[in-house]
């Protein structure tokens, strides 16, 4: 697994809360908006520290987007977070017309993403949010891989970005393994493991699965390059094209629908610049269901074992072709 070690499982929502709190301490213009689930998405840290800069609007996600836009137009930096299904889907019209059309600096936290939210079931498992959000003009989209990187992503979105930013993160405690001192670089893919036989492009929780898969492939004599695509938009086309040219095959891995997500974004690049064999790991055009998070990820084919099997198939196809 290379230099990456799991320091212990930690929910990415914790990283979101920690990043928001730190940014709030540094910048008095940062304000937070809650939609009835403040502690569940990590915003309680900010709300407790700065009660006069926190607004709870209840279960009214569309209204929250309008309020956030107004605050941004008045010079504040509003951060709003709720379940990804409600932030990205229920408030899609307000994001498009109010936030993106005005190109205001609003930070949107899409929490509880993917099937790893577990028992909450299909209605609360955000599996379509990347597809919907990445098509919005002016929108930047982050999908960090662990709690440490989520903390950096929030900090970066607030301090370094302009215009609207969507940050996707989960609830379940997952491996926390990235370097706490490594600065988050928007729009730049992160090389996790070098390799020349194929490339695994992963995002979110599946980056750790990709790292484990690369370890298993290495034991079989296959050296997989692993890229953490933590920025879905703007995506790092240069690094992806180079990976296609140098390794000749690409597997994408995401805790999201295969249609419209990371795999689609990368395929759009590959088909135009350097077509190579590709395989897509993710949700295959269906809804999730209730259950233990890790069991759901295995059931729906989003585990290291699935990445290994698809990688072996692609390497064989590359050699035969």
Measured distance CA(274)–CA(248) in Å, rounded: 9
Domain 190-320 has CATH 3.40.50.920: yes
Q: What is the pLDDT of residue 1?
A: 45
Rounded to 5°, angle at Cα 250 from 249 and 252:
165
Output the tens digit of pLDDT for each of the chain's 321 residues.
456 788 999 999 999 999 999 999 999 999 999 998 888 888 999 999 999 999 999 899 999 999 999 999 999 999 999 999 999 999 999 999 999 999 999 999 999 999 988 888 999 999 999 999 999 999 999 999 999 999 999 999 999 999 999 999 998 899 999 999 988 999 999 999 999 999 999 999 999 999 999 999 999 999 999 999 999 999 999 999 999 999 999 999 999 999 999 999 999 999 999 999 999 999 999 999 999 999 999 999 999 999 999 999 999 988 887
Question: CA 46, 49, 55, 57 torsion: positive or negative?
Answer: positive
Measured in degrees and rounded to the nearest 5, phi and psi for residue 99 equal: -80, -55
Identical fold between 9-175 and 190-320: yes
Q: Count other Cβ atoms within 10 Å, centred on residue 269.
A: 17
Structural domain boundaries of the chain? 9-175, 190-320
Q: What is the pLDDT of residue 37?
A: 84
DSSP-assigned states of every residue in 156-215? HHHHT--S-EEEE--SSEEE--S-TTSPP-TT-PEEEE--SSEEEEE-TTHHHHHHHHHH
Q: What is the pLDDT of residue 183?
A: 87
- Catalytic residue among 22, 61, 128, 172, which? 61
Measured distance CA(275)–CA(135) in Å, rounded: 23
- Tell the CATH topology of 9-175: Rossmann fold (3.40.50)
Measured distance CA(30)–CA(297) in Å, rounded: 35
Measured distance CA(207)–CA(213) in Å, rounded: 10
Q: Is 61 a catalytic residue?
A: yes
**Strands 140-142 and 231-233, sheet pairing:** antiparallel
CA neighbor of 12 nearest in space, from 124, 117, 151: 151
Contacts of 212 (CB under 8 A, 6+ apart): 1, 304
Helical (H) or strand (E) element with 282: strand 278-283
Residue 67 · residue 41 · CB < 8 Å: no
Measured distance CA(108)–CA(78) in Å, rounded: 9
DSSP state of 79: E
> Exposed, middle or buried by CB within 10 Å (0-12, 13-18, 19+), for 180?
exposed
CA neighbor of 224 nearest in space, from 318, 317, 321, 308: 308
Q: What does the pLDDT look like over 22-44, one tens digit per residue? A: 999 999 999 999 998 888 888 99
Contacts of 54 (CB under 8 A, 6+ apart): 31, 32, 33, 34, 38, 43, 46, 47
Measured distance CA(209)–CA(320) in Å, rounded: 27
Give the predicted TM-score (pTM) of the model: 0.96
């Amino acid at each position: 697994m290379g230099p990456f070690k799991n320091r212990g499982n930690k929910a990415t929502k914790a990283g979101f809360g920690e990043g928001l709190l730190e940014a709030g301490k540094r910048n008095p213009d940062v304000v937070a908006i809650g939609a009835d689930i403040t502690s569940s998405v990590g915003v309680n840290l900010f709300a407790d520290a700065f009660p006069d800069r926190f607004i709870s609007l209840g279960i009214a996600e569309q209204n929250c987007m309008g309020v956030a836009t107004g605050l941004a137009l008045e010079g504040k930096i509003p951060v709003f977070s709720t379940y990804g299904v409600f932030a990205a889907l229920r408030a899609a019209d307000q994001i498009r017309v109010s936030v993106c059309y005005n190109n205001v600096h609003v930070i949107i936290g899409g929490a509880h993403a993917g099937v790893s939210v577990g028992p909450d079931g299909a209605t609360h498992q955000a599996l379509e949010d990347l597809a919907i959000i990445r098509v919005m003009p002016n929108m930047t989209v982050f999908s960090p891989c662990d709690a440490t990187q989520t903390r950096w992503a929030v900090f970066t979105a607030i301090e370094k970005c302009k215009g609207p930013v969507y940050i996707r993160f989960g609830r379940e405690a997952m491996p926390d393994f990235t370097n706490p001192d490594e600065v988050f670089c928007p729009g730049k893919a992160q090389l996790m493991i070098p390799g020349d036989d194929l490339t695994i492009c992963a995002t979110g929780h599946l980056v750790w699965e990709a790292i484990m898969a690369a370890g298993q492939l290495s034991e079989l004599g296959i050296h997989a390059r692993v890229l953490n695509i933590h920025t879905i938009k703007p995506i790092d086309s240069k690094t992806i094209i180079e990976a296609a040219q140098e390794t000749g095959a690409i597997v994408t891995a995401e805790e999201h629908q295969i249609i419209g997500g990371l795999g689609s974004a990368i395929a759009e690049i590959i088909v135009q610049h350097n077509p190579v064999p590709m395989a897509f790991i993710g949700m295959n055009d269906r809804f999730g269901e209730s259950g233990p998070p890790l069991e759901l990820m295995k059931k729906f084919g989003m585990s290291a074992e699935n990445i290994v099997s698809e990688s072996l198939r692609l390497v064989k196809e590359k050699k035969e072709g």
